[in-house]
């Protein structure tokens, strides 16, 4: 499981929030349950562009048979650029 900190929206205020990436259930958005928890418990939302980016990374990892966690680390780690 990998931890990432992303800016989330809490009633119009952006604040950093930690999300955790593991192996999502097939045919499920990789942040589905974390996004639901954040909304229900903290009244926060993960920006749509972040949701779309993680969905795209998940599809790439699935289509190419690579680890979703490792692809996220590679794609989102600024030191790899």
Domain that includes residue 50, residue range: 2-80
Contact 37, 48 (CB under 8 A): no
pTM score: 0.88
**What is the domain count for the chain?**
1
- Residue 80 is predicted with a pLDDT of 59
Q: How far apart are CA 58 and CA 69, in angstroms?
A: 9
- Residue 25 is predicted with a pLDDT of 85
Contact 23, 69 (CB under 8 A): yes
- Residue 60 is predicted with a pLDDT of 95
For 1-37, write each residue's pLDDT tens digit.
999 999 999 999 999 999 999 988 888 899 999 999 9
């Amino acid at each position: 499981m990998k931890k990432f900190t992303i800016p989330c929206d809490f009633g119009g205020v952006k604040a950093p929030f930690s999300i955790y990436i593991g192996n999502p259930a097939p045919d499920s958005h990789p942040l589905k349950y974390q996004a639901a928890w954040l909304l229900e418990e903290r009244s926060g939302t993960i920006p749509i562009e972040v949701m779309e980016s993680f969905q795209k990374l998940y599809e790439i990892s699935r289509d190419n048979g690579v680890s979703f966690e490792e692809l996220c680390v590679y794609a989102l780690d600024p030191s790899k650029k």
